[in-house]
Structure 1
Amino acid sequence: MTLSEEKMNMFKYAFALVVFLTSACLIPHAQAATTCDSTNVPYTLNAGTLSVPTTLDIGSVIPGSAKTHTINGSCSGTISSHTIISCYYGTGTEVSGMPGVYSTDVDGVGIQLLNSSGQIVRGKGYSCDTTATPMGTVSSDGGQTFSFSYTERLIKTATHIGSGTISSAQDPFGFGVFQSVGISGARNTSHYSATVAERTATCSIDPLNLTVSLGDFPVSQFTHVGSYTAWKYFQITATCTEEVNLTASVTSANGVNSQYDDVLNLTPGSDSATGVGVGMLLDGVDLKYNYPIPIGGTTEPGVPDAVNFAVRYYQTDATVTAGKANTIATIDMEYQ
C-alpha cells in the first residue's frame, strides 16, 4: 500500500466517522404518549320505556328521562390543557330555539347534556369548544386525576311526538381534554337509549248531573236591580290521569241576560218568575257566559280535585213577579 493510499483510507474512515456522529445527533429521545383513561366510558344511559303526556309543554323535560353518570380516571404524559369538555357527536341537528337540544330519530323528541353545575352544554363535532361550560378539570399534581358527572335528558320539541326507540348509536356525546386527547381515546362516548310513546291525558267528572235547590224567596226580598239572594255552594270533582291545567265555563239552553253576561236566564214558561236570573261563581270569581276561567293550579295525577261553585238569584229588572225560578246550566271543563 502506498502512502497516498493510506491517507485516502484514513480520510474515508474519518468521513464515515463524522457522518456516523452527525447522524447520531439527529436521533430524538423517545417520549411517552399522552393519554387520559377511564373505565367508565364508553357508557350507555338506559331510560327504559317513557310515556309522554300530550299535555306536556313544548320545551319541557320528558318525565323520567334524566339520567346521570360519573366518569373517573387519570392522564399520563403532557397535556396542553386541564379543562375537560363534552361535544355532541351525533347525527341530529340543533333544534331551532332550543340551544343545546339535538334532534333524535323519534319525531318531537330532542336530547340534551348538562354538566354537574346544571349548565347546558352546547357544541357539536369533534373539535367543538365548550370550555365555557366545562365538565371538569384534570388535577395539576403528579397524578393528573379527574372525576366529573353529567346528565343527559330528553326534551319535548313538538306538540305531538312520535313513537319509537332512540338509537344509542345515533346520539353519542364525547368527552376529552380540550385541545389534547379524548378520554379513553376513541372510546370516549356516552350513549342514550329509550323507548318513547305519547300518552293521552283523560279526566273524569263527578257528578255528571246535579240539581241545586236555591229555596223559596218572597218577591219582597228583591227591592232593586242588582239585589240578590245568598250564595248556595256546591262542588264538582275532577280526577285526571296526568298533571293538567283545568278551566271551566258555563252556558245554558236558556241563554244569558242581555244586560248582564254573568246572569243566566230562567227557563221560560207561563208559570215562571220574571225579573230575576241566576248568577254563578267559580272559586269566588263570577262566571261569565261561555268565558273559560282557570281552576286553581295543576292537578295531581289520580287525585280528585274539588272545584267550588256557587249560585244565587240576581234581580235584573225593576219589577219581579212570582213563579218558578228554574234554569239549566251546562258547565264545560277543559284541560290542557
Structure 2
Amino acid sequence: MCYQNKHRLRWRFIPSFLWLCSVPVEADCNYQGEGFEPAQPFNIQQPAVYVQRDAPAGTVISSFITNGTGDIDYCTGTGTITYEMIKFSNPSAIPNYYNTNVPGVGISLRFTSAGWYFSKIRQYSVLSPTITVVAPLEVTLIKTGEITSGAIGSGLLAKAYGDDGIQSLTVNFTGNQVTQLACSITTPDLSFPLGDISAANFGSTVGTVPSGAQNTQNLGLDCDTNANINVMLQGAQNPDAGARSVLALTGQGNVDVAKGVGVQLLYNGAPLELNSRIVLKRSAGGQETFPVTARYYQTQPTVTTGKANASATLDLTYQ
C-alpha cells in the first residue's frame, strides 16, 4: 500500500462535494464508513521447513505470500492506523525479524507492495478522506542462530486497528515443523595403511604414483533425509608439490623422514584439494558410504627412504 508516495499501501480516495452539505471534520480512522468493505482475515499456513545445519545466520529458510481483499479503515480526518505484531513480538538480532518459539528461527511480516514490515507497534497518520485497502502480505522465516528442531506456534500473528480501537485487520498464522538436517559420523577415524614401499618403485618423474601404494577406506555417515553433505580436506600442503592436493609428511625435513614423496587423498578417483569444499550428495536418509583413497605421490625427481606418514582432517558440513 502507499502512504503519501512513501508506502505502497493502496488508498481509495472518496470524493467530497463541499457545496452539498457542511459536516464537521473528525480526526478519526474507524471501522465503518461510506463504501467501506471490511477486509477478511488473512489465514496463513506455514509449510514444513528443512534447514541445513551449517547454513549461516541470516539465511532465509522459507518465504510465502498471501493475497487478501477488503479495507482496513475509513478515515474522515487526519487519523491514525496502528499495526502490531502479536504472536511473536520479541525482536531478534536481525532487523525486522522477531524470535519465534523455535530457537534459531525468526519471523517477519510485511506488505509486499509497500516494502515495510510490521513491528511490535507501528503507527501511521492518514489523511482524509481515504479508505486503506489491504495489499499482499509476505511472511518470511529466517535463521537467526543455532536451530533446535520444533514446530512454530500458531495463533494471531498480527493485527491493525484505527482510532476507534476496533480490530480491522486480522492475520492468523498456522505454524508447522522446522527441522534442522545433518549427519552423524559412523567412522570418526580413518586409517590408511600403505605398507612398506621400495623407493625403487618410484620413477624420476614428479607425479608418479607407485603400483600398490594406495589404500581405500569408507567414510560412513548416518544422515537425515535431504541433508546436503559437503566435505573439505584440511591439512598441511607439501612444500615440494605444486598440486594443492598433496599433503606434507609428518616431520617433513627431518633426517628420518622420506624425501621426494607426499600423500594424496582422493574421492571417486579425483584428488581432494586442500581447503576446497566439494558437494558429495544430497542424502536420501539413513546410512551413506563414501570411498576415500590415500596414495603416495612423487614430489621430486628422486625419492629417498624414510618414514612417510601424514595426517589430515575431513571437515564435513551440511549447507
2:208 counterpart (223, 226, 229): 229
**Mapping of 1:241-320 within 5 angstroms?**
241=224, 242-244=226-228, 246-249=230-233, 262-264=247-249, 274-280=258-264, 286-287=273-274, 293-296=275-278, 299-302=281-284, 311-315=295-299, 320=304
Instruction: Determine the structure 2 residue equivalent to 1:156.
Output: 143
Q: Whose strand proportion is higher, 1 or 2?
A: 2
SS in 1 for 2:70: strand
Deviations 1:211-238, CA, capped at 9 Å, x for gaps: 889x988478338xxx442699999889
Instruction: Determine the structure 2 residue equivalent to 1:23.
Output: none
CA spacing shift, 1:332–1:197, aligned 2, 3 Å: same
CA distance in 2, matches of 1:235, 1:81: 75
Deviations 1:54-105, CA, capped at 9 Å, x for gaps: 3333222334xx3322121258965558999854244622212x11111233
1:114 counterpart (107, 110, 122): 110
CA spacing shift, 1:145–1:262, aligned 2, 3 Å: closer
CA spacing shift, 1:264–1:82, aligned 2, 3 Å: farther
1:167 counterpart (149, 154, 158): 154
Whichever of the two has the greater Rg, that structure is: 1
So what's the TM-score if we normalise by structure 1? 0.54
CA spacing shift, 1:181–1:68, aligned 2, 3 Å: farther
Once the two structures are aligned, what percentage of the paired residues are identical?
15
CA spacing shift, 1:218–1:308, aligned 2, 3 Å: same
SS in 1 for 2:167: helix
SS in 2 for 1:221: coil
CA distance in 2, matches of 1:109, 1:332: 29
CA distance in 2, matches of 1:238, 1:83: 62
Q: Does 1:201 align with 2:182?
A: yes
So what's the TM-score if we normalise by structure 2? 0.57
Instruction: Determine the structure 1 residue equivalent to 2:314.
Output: 332
For residue 186 of structure 1, report the CA deviation from its aligned partner.
1.2
Cα pair 1:81 1:180 within 8 Å, conserved: no
CA distance in 1, matches of 2:73, 2:299: 88
CA distance in 1, matches of 2:52, 2:203: 52
Instruction: Determine the structure 1 residue equivalent to 2:12.
Output: none
CA distance in 1, matches of 2:179, 2:46: 15
SS in 2 for 1:128: strand
Instruction: Determine the structure 2 residue equivalent to 1:69.
Output: 66
Q: How many residues align?
A: 269
> Structure 2: any 5+ residue segments left out of the alignment?
1-22
CA distance in 2, matches of 1:319, 1:73: 82
Q: Whose helix proportion is higher, 1 or 2?
A: 1
SS in 2 for 1:44: strand
CA spacing shift, 1:78–1:318, aligned 2, 3 Å: closer
CA distance in 1, matches of 2:293, 2:114: 43
Cα pair 1:79 1:180 within 8 Å, conserved: no
For residue 150 of structure 1, report the CA deviation from its aligned partner.
0.9
CA distance in 1, matches of 2:116, 2:219: 41
2:172 counterpart (191, 196, 215): 191
Which stretch shows the higher mean deviation, 80-89 or 144-153?
80-89
CA distance in 2, matches of 1:231, 1:335: 33
**Mapping of 1:7-156 within 5 angstroms?**
33-34=32-33, 36-41=36-41, 43-47=42-46, 49-63=48-62, 66-74=63-71, 79-80=76-77, 86-90=83-87, 92-96=89-93, 98-117=94-113, 119-125=115-121, 128-129=123-124, 146=133, 148-156=135-143
CA distance in 2, matches of 1:298, 1:146: 50
SS in 2 for 1:246: strand
Amino acid in the other structure paired with 2:182: A
